[in-house]
């Protein structure tokens, strides 16, 4: 994207995070960081959507278990926008293995085991674009003025 502060990432609160009531905590942390929420929906993902989303893991030992887990309940899919949101968002989530996540990260504070690690976040701008395109139609992305930007960016 032309303006670096318009970088976007895909963040998903997985079924365990929804069931454990941490959706608000995840949103709160991204908002407090200064990022702008431009799309959000709670959805029960179809098998086809999950196969597309996790296509890079097809054939791996954990693939079917992963699809079953993510498909076991509703998820909250979000698109966040802001400067370095992909890289910083990943740091905010913490390591994939919650036991290796720093305190203060989402997984470090709420996760216990890798197989139930609360959230997913895009690992690159390219992945973010692909994942956003899978989960959201373009008319579901809201372009709105974030009046706090004058207090966030130089």
Burial code (b: 16+ CB inside 10 Å, e: under 16) for 39-71 equals bbeeeebeeebbeebbeeeeeeeebeebbebbe
In this predicted model, what pLDDT tens digit does every residue of 108-123 receive, in sequence order?
A: 999 999 889 999 999 9
Give the active site residue among 28, 53, 57, 120: 120
Q: Is 53 a catalytic residue?
A: no
Q: What is the pLDDT of residue 58?
A: 96
Superfamily of segment(s) 4-152: Nucleoside diphosphate kinase-like domain (3.30.70.141)
Tell me whether residue 113 is exposed, middle or buried, using C-beta atoms within 10 angstroms of its C-beta: 0 to 12, 13 to 18, 19 or more.
exposed
**Listing from the earlier edge strand, what are the strands of the sheet with 8-13?**
36-43, 75-81, 8-13, 119-121
Residue boundaries of the structural domains of the chain? 4-152
Q: pLDDT averaged over the chain?
A: 95
**Residues 123, 85: contact at Cβ < 8 Å?**
no
| CB atoms inside a 10 Å sphere around CB 79 | 24
């Amino acid at each position: 994207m032309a303006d670096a502060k318009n970088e976007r990432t895909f963040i998903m609160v997985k079924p365990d995070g929804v069931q454990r009531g941490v959706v608000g905590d995840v949103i709160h942390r991204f908002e407090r960081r200064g990022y702008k929420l431009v799309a959000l929906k709670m959805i029960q993902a179809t098998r086809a959507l999950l196969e597309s989303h996790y296509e890079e893991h097809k054939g791996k030992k954990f693939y079917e278990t992963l699809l079953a887990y993510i498909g076991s309940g509703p998820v909250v899919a979000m698109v966040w926008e802001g400067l370095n949101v992909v890289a910083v968002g990943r740091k905010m989530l913490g390591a994939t293995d919650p036991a290796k996540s720093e305190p203060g990260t989402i997984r470090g504070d709420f996760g216990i085991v890798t197989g139930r690690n609360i959230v997913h976040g895009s690992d690159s701008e390219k992945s973010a674009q692909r994942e956003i395109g899978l989960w959201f139609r373009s008319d579901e992305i809201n372009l709105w003025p974030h009046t706090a930007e004058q207090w966030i960016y130089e």
